Amino acid sequence: MFFRSTALLTLAALAGLAMTANAATKAAVKADPAPAVSAPRTGMHRYMVVRTFPAGALDGLDAAGKKQVNTTNTGKDVRWIHSYANADKTKTFCIYEGPTEQAVRDAASANKIPVDYVVEVPVVLLPR
């Protein structure tokens, strides 16, 4: 009888731990800050464009400047998704969608924006 009740208590404790772990996992999934990344439109590819700017060059980039960049990009069938910049804004890492690498380069040229290099990034890896 002692063995049976000890085994039952152990199983009950393990079940309680599993339920607690499951609840913690569900809470962590709800709080996950990693955004979902949608696939590019059909016929489009995703690229990372690395750029180097002189110090202060991005300080004047405002909503009107961004709108002009986006308008020019649209003419090349290119879409600016988002960008990351280092602390002093001399280096940017920009995510674009476009039909070809050349279209992305042509849009940058039309916008008079430098391009160090372009890498196609078709695969998205999420941290979960």
CA 2 to chain centre: 57
Average pLDDT per 10 consecutive residues for the chain, totaling 128 residues: 48 47 49 67 95 94 96 97 95 97 98 97 88
What is the model's pLDDT at position 11?
45
Closest CA to 90 of 66, 123, 71, 116: 116
pLDDT score recorded for residue 28: 46
